[in-house]
Structure 1
Amino acid sequence: MFDPHDATVRRFAAACRRRDGAALEAILGDDAVATCDGGDLVPAPAGTARGAAEVARLVIEVLGGPADAELTVESVNGRAGLALRHASRAVAVVGAETAGSRITTLWIVLNPAKLTAWHRG
């Protein structure tokens, strides 16, 4: 069964892996927003990024990670989202809201206290 949300998140993940700003902007809604939660434990962008271009830059900065980091599509709050791991340790989990084939909202969790259940091995 085709799930438009899942397909959109998968396209978004592929663009993230390529660090392709233009492709990210094309997937993001014109008035997309993104919020990061670092929990004051890790550096995280303050405030909310707004607009496709600003959100795309934020995503590349936050999810660009080391070359050997693994970005996977996984269930986040019951819907397709992203998990970024480095050396099997989760460094970010991303929940997404979509409208049709565009992403409208991203919630990026960077707070290590909230990521322990996402670690592997």
Structure 2
Amino acid sequence: MLDRHDQVVRRFADACRRGDVTALAAALDVEAIATCDGGGRVPGPNEPVHGAADVARLVMTLLCGRADAELTVESVNGRAGLALRHASRAVAVVGAETAGAKVTALWIVLNPAKLGGWHRR
């Protein structure tokens, strides 16, 4: 049986796969925060993004609705998180923190220098 964290992350991933920004926002805590690491090599916000609506829009832009990419739920830092791959190459890995039934924080790694170990062969 999946624990609560896994269930919340899977619900979030499903909303992302559907490209449903309303469902994404509903899965986020009202005070959710997202921090991106593009390493100066990938466009993304330099400062953390705050609030369910803004985080949902960021996630939609970076991770969702990409027909050419596969979003999977995988272990990230020992807990359920997300990996986005294009042609078997990781383009984003997302760690998530949850409380109750909501995602409270996302750490979105976009920096190609940090994603090599996530590529599928």
Same fold (TM over 0.5): yes
How far the C-alpha of 1:46 sits from its partner, in A, is: 2.0
* Residue pair 2:35, 2:108 contacting (<8 A) in 1 also: yes
The aligned counterpart of 1:116 is 116
Q: Answer whether contact 1:76 1:82 (CA < 8 A) is retained.
A: yes
Distance in 2 between the 1:27 and 1:33 partners?
13
1:67-117 deviation per Cα after TM superposition (whole angstroms, max 9, x unaligned): 120000000000000000000000000000000110000000000000000
Question: What is the alpha-carbon distance in structure 2 between the residues aligned to residue 31 and residue 118 of structure 1?
Answer: 29
Q: Which amino acid aligns with 1:41?
A: R
2-structure distance, mates of 1:65, 1:30? 23
After the TM superposition, which residues 45-64 of structure 1 pair with which residues of structure 2 at under 5 Å, given as runs?
Answer: 45-64=45-64
Q: What TM-score results when the alignment is normalised by the length of structure 1? A: 0.97
SS in 1 for 2:67: coil
Residues in 1 aligned to 2:65 and 2:28: alpha-carbon distance in whole angstroms:
20
| Equivalent residue letter for 2:104 | T
1:104 aligns with 2:99: no
Question: RMSD of the TM alignment (CA)?
Answer: 1.0
Shift of 1:65: 6.1
Kept in 2, the 8 Å contact 1:66–1:86? The answer is: no
State the one-letter code of the partner of 1:81: G
Superposed, 1:18-33 pairs within 5 Å as 18-33=18-33
Q: Identity percentage over the alignment? A: 71
Q: Does 1:13 align with 2:13?
A: yes
Aligned residues: 121
Query: How many Å apart are 1:45 and its aligned residue?
Result: 1.8
Moved segments of 4+, more than 4 Å: none
Query: Does 1:38 pair with 2:38?
Result: yes
**Structure 2 residue matching 1:113: 3-state secondary structure:** helix
Answer whether contact 2:16 2:65 (CA < 8 A) is retained.
no
Ranges in structure 2 where 5+ consecutive residues have no aligned partner = none
Q: TM-score, normalization: structure 2?
A: 0.97
- Partner of 1:12: helix, strand, or coil? helix
